[in-house]
């Protein structure tokens, strides 16, 4: 159901809509909301309003299961990965139309809530920024809260820009239904350059007012200077990329180096698999994350994604397309004839991150061996609850915590952190920008390492051999792109990476492949298959369509993206 017409509607969660009426028995104070007067008169209530801006309203079925959604898609039943060549969602959940290139303004699938939620949040931040001087709090505290609001607002704009391109910039304005809603500013999309410049300036301002560390009285999930600089690193990398072409690689190097130079973050040393279940303060790779508690659970990941033989629902299913891009543990591609890869024994001696990310036939899972082969495999269509059988022959391992119950998990599972920004991304941002600006082995001016050194730090943590010196810029580009694919799999990067590199017309037009494994006696035979038919990508899909309802709400004044 449509609940918002555009960013100017009164949609602040905690604020009432007052209607003037005669003072009589109908003129009562609502008890299910907090008035503006109360919010502005109590600094604690106001700060609670600010912290609640890290989450948004649920606008779609299966969204924010157990707690409201934050930025991006994150932990929902169908993850953003299932709109890419990383995975497909077993039971559709409005994802297949995107995979099949059927996206339209009238039918946006799970990609349809970004515009509305982002502008709602921007309006909420603007209201708070307009009114913060009315709240009694110390000057230092007010500086921090103001910076925090500007960061949240910038993050929402970042979500808009990377999905739609140039967007409507609202400045600090707050519109109500009683205002003149014919203001052209409400409906005019700024250029991509103008949009990017605005958000980068906001992140600079936010970084200046945010502390490096959250103190004991601040929740770890709130923004810090590193979060603002980390998001700036991502956006400057996007700005320099072929799809955007509104920035420079040198600027992207500088932005990533600014995070590195904080000397606060480092790669997690407790193992790649454990990184995605560790929400402790000792995890120095975390730059900005969403943290969950037992009283605010989200999708129960283990049952939602587990194999059918264990009672799982086989949700986000890794594709063979991704599996084939994991190198051998000697650093060679499986297409290299000297790599040692055996197509009839394909899961041995692979990049250690493969085993931390993918559940495959023969892998150990919850104390038993996974069987996706047929006939008779308990995790195949011959197993129990075969409606949940993987269409690809694989299941998701990343994020899964075997200490949480898979059966009857309600309220007792799903408390993993979701990483919005982590240090490995910053190193890979740096590596890509540095290679494009200076080549593989040159340390750029003002930087502390080369592109190759940055990539090798990430590979070393994973237990992979270093990239050799002397790679050409093209060879290093390919290596960095593959490293992002593997290291950041299922973290909502692939969808945007293949678009900003302008290679989605290749990667997203390849068939969504899986594996068929047939057992005869003790012999297993492996053969690829199409797991989801009709996969397609057209040039217009480099940007999402603005939902038709939003265009109509503007009186058809907002310009739709090309091709829709």
Q: What is the DSSP letter of 190?
A: P
pLDDT at 232 over 50: yes
Q: Are 547 and 108 in contact (CB under 8 A)?
A: yes
Residue 258 lies in a domain: yes
**pLDDT exceeds cutoff 50 at 1:** no
Taking alpha carbons only, the member of 44, 72, 30 closest to residue 492 is 72
Q: Tokens standing for 364? A: 């150990």
Q: What's the confidence (pLDDT) of residue 147? A: 98
Per-residue pLDDT at 530: 98
Report whether pLDDT(156) > 90: yes
Q: Which helix (H) or strand (E) holds 418?
A: strand 418-422
- What share of the chain has pLDDT > 90, as a percent? 84
Q: Exposed (0-12), middle (13-18) or buried (19+): which is 553, by Cβ within 10 Å?
A: buried
Helices (H) and strands (E) in the chain, counts: 18, 10
Beta bridge partners of 369: 364
* pTM of the shown model: 0.93
For residue 241, being part of any structural domain is answered with yes
SS3 of 69-98: CCCCCCCCCCCHHHHCCCEEECCCCCCHHH
Q: What is the pLDDT of residues 402-437, one digit of tens each?
A: 999 999 998 888 889 999 999 999 999 999 999 999
Range of the domain at 251: 234-292+418-502
Please report the DSSP string for 339-351 in residue order: S---TTSTTSSB-
* Residue 294 pLDDT: 73
Closest CA to 225 of 148, 138, 280: 148
Residue 181 in this model has a pLDDT that exceeds 80: no
Instruction: Report yes or no on 11 lying in a domain.
Output: no
For residue 23, being part of any structural domain is answered with no
CA dist 508 and 540 (Å) reads 13
d(CA 146, CA 333): 49
Count of domains for the chain = 1
What is the reported pLDDT for 483?
Answer: 98
Q: Which token pair is 228?
A: 């603002």
Helix (H) or strand (E) holding 369: strand 368-369
Comparing 167-171, 175-179, 214-218, 426-430, the range with the smallest average pLDDT is: 214-218
Average pLDDT for 10-20: 30
Strand partners, 513: 530
Report yes or no on 46 lying in a domain.
no
d(CA 66, CA 85): 28
Residue 406: CB atoms within 10 A of its CB come to: 22
Other residues' Cβ atoms within 10 Å of the Cβ of residue 28: 7
Q: Report residue 280's pLDDT band, with 50, 70 and 90 as the boundaries.
A: confident
Mean pLDDT of 42-50: 94
Residue 293 has a pLDDT of 77
CA-based nearest residue to 513, from 525, 526, 529, 527: 529
CATH of the domain at 275: 1.25.40.900
- Asked whether residue 47 is assigned to any structural domain, the reply reads no
Q: For 510-550, how does the pLDDT look when each residue is reduced to its tens digit (9 = 90+)? A: 999 999 999 999 999 999 999 999 999 999 999 999 999 99
Q: What is the pLDDT of residue 178?
A: 74
pLDDT score for 25: 42
pLDDT in tens, 294-332: 766 678 999 999 999 999 999 999 999 999 999 999 999
pLDDT band at 21 (very low <50, low <70, confident <90, very high): very low
Distances (CA, A) of 290 to 221, 276, 466, 498: 6, 12, 32, 25
pLDDT tens across 447-499, in order?
Answer: 999 999 999 999 999 999 999 999 999 999 999 999 999 999 999 999 999 99
Kindly indicate the confidence band of residue 84, based on its pLDDT and cuts at 50, 70 and 90.
very high
Please give the structure tokens belonging to residue 199.
Answer: 């958000």
Region 207-229: mean pLDDT is 87
First to last CA, the chain: 22
**Residue 550 covered by a domain:** no
Instruction: Kindly state the average pLDDT of the residues 239-262.
Output: 98
Helix axes 473-487, 423-438, angle to 10 degrees: 170
Average predicted confidence (pLDDT) for the chain:
92
Per-residue model confidence as pLDDT tens digits over 86-121: 999 999 999 999 999 999 999 999 999 999 999 999
Q: Which of 399, 561, 416, 409 is nearest to 488 (CA)?
A: 399
Joined together, the tokens standing for residue 363 give 């892998």
Residue 310 belongs to a domain: no
Nearest Cα neighbor of 228 from 251, 207, 208 is 207
Place of tokens 């709130």: 222
Is 80 exceeded by the pLDDT of residue 218?
A: no
**Cβ atoms of 355 and 279 closer than 8 Å:** no
Residues of the chain with pLDDT > 70, as a percent, come to 93
């Amino acid at each position: 159901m449509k609940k918002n017409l555009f960013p100017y509607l009164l949609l602040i969660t905690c604020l009432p809509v007052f209607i003037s009426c005669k003072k009589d028995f109908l003129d009562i104070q609502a008890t299910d909301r907090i008035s503006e007067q109360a919010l502005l008169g109590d600094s604690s209530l106001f700060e609670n309003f600010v912290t609640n801006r890290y989450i948004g309203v649920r606008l779609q079925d299966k969204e924010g299961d157990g707690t409201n959604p934050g930025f991006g898609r994150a932990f929902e039943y169908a993850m953003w990965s299932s709109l890419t060549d990383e995975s497909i969602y077993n039971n559709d959940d409005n994802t297949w139309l995107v995979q099949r290139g059927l996206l339209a303004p009238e039918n946006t699938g799970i990609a349809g809530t970004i515009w509305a939620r982002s502008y709602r949040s921007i309006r909420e931040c603007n209201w708070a920024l307009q009114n913060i001087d009315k709240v009694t709090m110390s000057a230092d505290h007010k500086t921090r809260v103001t910076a925090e609001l500007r960061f949240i607002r910038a993050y929402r704009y970042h979500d808009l820009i990377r999905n739609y391109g140039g967007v409507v910039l609202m400045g600090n304005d707050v519109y109500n239904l009683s205002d003149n809603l014919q203001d052209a500013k409400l409906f005019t999309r700024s250029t991509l350059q103008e949009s990017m410049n605005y958000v980068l300036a906001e992140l600079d301002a936010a970084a200046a007012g945010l502390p490096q560390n959250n103190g004991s009285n601040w929740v770890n999930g709130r923004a810090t200077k590193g979060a603002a600089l980390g998001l700036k690193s991502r956006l400057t990398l996007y700005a320099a990329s072929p799809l955007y072409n509104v920035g420079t690689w040198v600027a992207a190097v500088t932005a990533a180096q600014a995070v590195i130079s904080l000397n606060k973050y480092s790669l997690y040393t407790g193992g790649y698999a454990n990184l995605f279940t560790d929400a402790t303060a000792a995890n120095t790779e975390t730059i900005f994350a969403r943290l969950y508690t037992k009283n605010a659970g989200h999708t129960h990941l283990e049952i939602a994604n587990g194999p059918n033989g264990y009672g799982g629902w086989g949700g986000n299913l890794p594709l063979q397309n991704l599996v084939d891009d994991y190198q051998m543990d000697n650093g060679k591609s499986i297409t290299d004839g000297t790599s040692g890869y055996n197509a009839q024994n394909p899961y041995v001696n692979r990049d250690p991150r493969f085993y931390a990310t993918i559940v495959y036939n023969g892998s150990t899972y919850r104390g038993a061996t996974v069987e996706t082969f047929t006939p008779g495999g308990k995790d195949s269509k011959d197993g129990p609850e075969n409606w949940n059988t993987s269409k690809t022959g694989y299941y998701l391992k990343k994020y899964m915590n075997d200490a949480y119950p898979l059966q009857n998990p309600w309220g007792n599972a799903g408390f993993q952190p979701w990483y919005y920004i982590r240090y490995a991304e910053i190193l890979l941002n740096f590596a890509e920008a540095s290679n494009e600006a200076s080549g593989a082995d040159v340390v750029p001016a003002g930087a502390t390492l080369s592109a190759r050194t940055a990539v090798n730090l990430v590979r070393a943590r994973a237990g992979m051999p270093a990239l050799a010196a002397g790679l050409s810029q093209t060879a290093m580009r390919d290596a960095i792109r593959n490293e992002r694919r593997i290291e950041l799999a299922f973290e909502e990067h692939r969808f945007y990476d293949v678009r900003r590199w302008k290679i989605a017309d290749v990667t997203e037009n390849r068939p969504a492949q899986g594996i068929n494994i047939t057992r005869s006696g003790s012999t297993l035979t492996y053969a690829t298959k199409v797991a989801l038919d009709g996969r397609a990508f057209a040039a217009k899909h480099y940007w999402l369509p603005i939902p038709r309802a939003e265009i109509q709400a503007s009186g058809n004044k907002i310009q739709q993206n090309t091709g829709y």
